[in-house]
Amino acid sequence: MTVTENEARPAPGARPEPVAHGGVRLTGVTKVFGRGATATTALQDVDLDVRPGEFVTIVGASGCGKSTLLSLVAGLEQVTTGTLEVGGRVALMFQEATLLPWLTAAQNVALALKLRGVARAERTPQAHALLERVRLGAYADKRPHELSGGMRQRVALARVLAQDASVVCMDEPLGALDAMTRDHMHDEIERVAGEAGLTVLFVTHNVREAVRLGDRAVLMGSSPGRVVHTEHIDLPRPRRMEDPEVARRAGSLTAALREDVARHVG
């Protein structure tokens, strides 16, 4: 567990008990980049409590601090004020699969195992088993450029599993994929995260995708980035992007998002 506390302040509503394994808790988190006149507040006073195994989608216009939030949780950035607690190891998945082009799919996964300290003899069989879990067993020896965009993201997903993390931050991981592949990846991420009991923080600018995947959708507003609305999505799974109920819930979220944008523009 990692606790980052940059300023001792009695956060209102802060619970004293530590966050559970797989949980993520942000209490009054503010992130400021730069100092003095050029300082920009990327996040202001964000409270978010994620249960272990919960799938939380984070939506908002560009520049609302979605990616900053993930960077904080992943430990790439430090909070300016407030408290961030993460129960366990965090893995990160980017918009680009970022596979190393000089390694095969299996070697890319095996490198994550190696850096986690898995013994040499176990790496190759484990890497192959992980690729089987994302249904890429037959492509273990292919290099990234021989794989399609969706396949590359599935290798990245296998690599996330190789990190043995309890929390996974996904920063628009499907943004570069075509609609068909994207639908397929929704099923894949949902299935794999469910099987592994992963807590997922999934950033997207696509409201419908947020409703399709999330147990909860967190709406973020911009300048400064903050949580403006949280929606529990109690629709039964499996869901589809084209389900009327998904569309309806996405519609109401879009309305809330528009309101926030209008408030800032107007």
Partner 1 sequence: MSVDTATRPVEPPADTAARSRALSALWAGTWPKVGAVVAFVAIWQAVVLSGWRPEFVLPAPLTVAQTLGDLVREPEFWQAIGTTLRRALVGFAFAIAIGTVVGIAVSRFRPVRAAIGSLITGLQTMPSIVWFPLAILLFGLNEQAITFVVILGAAPSIANGIISGIDHVPPAFTRLGTVLGAGSVDLYRHFVIPAALPSYVAGLNQGWAFAWRSLMAGELLVIIEAKPSLGSRLSFAQDFNNAPELIAYMVVILVLGMLADTVFSSQSRRMRRRRGLAVD
Interface residues with partner 1 (CB under 8 A)? 74, 76, 91-92, 94, 96, 98, 100-102, 111-112, 115-116, 143-146, 159, 163
Minimum CB distance to partner 1, residue 145 (Å) = 2
Nearer to partner 1, 58 or 73 (CB): 73
Minimum CB distance to partner 1, residue 110 (Å) = 11
The alpha carbon of residue 100 and the mean position of all alpha carbons in its chain are separated, in whole angstroms, by 21
Nearer to partner 1, 80 or 108 (CB): 108
Nearer to partner 1, 112 or 201 (CB): 112
C-alpha–C-alpha distance, residues 54 and 174, integer Å: 19
Instruction: Give start and end residues of each alpha helix (H) in 136-223.
Output: 149-162, 179-196, 207-213
Minimum CB distance to partner 1, residue 201 (Å) = 14
Cβ partners under 8 Å of residue 21, min gap 6: 1, 52, 87, 88, 166
Nearer to partner 1, 81 or 163 (CB): 163
Minimum CB distance to partner 1, residue 43 (Å) = 20
* Cis bond upstream, residue 12 (ω within 30): no
Give the E-state strand segments of 179-262 in sequence order.
Answer: 199-204, 216-221, 226-232
Residue 45, amino acid:
D
Pairing of the two strands 55-60 and 199-204: parallel
Nearer to partner 1, 39 or 115 (CB): 115
Minimum CB distance to partner 1, residue 52 (Å) = 21
118 three-state secondary structure: coil
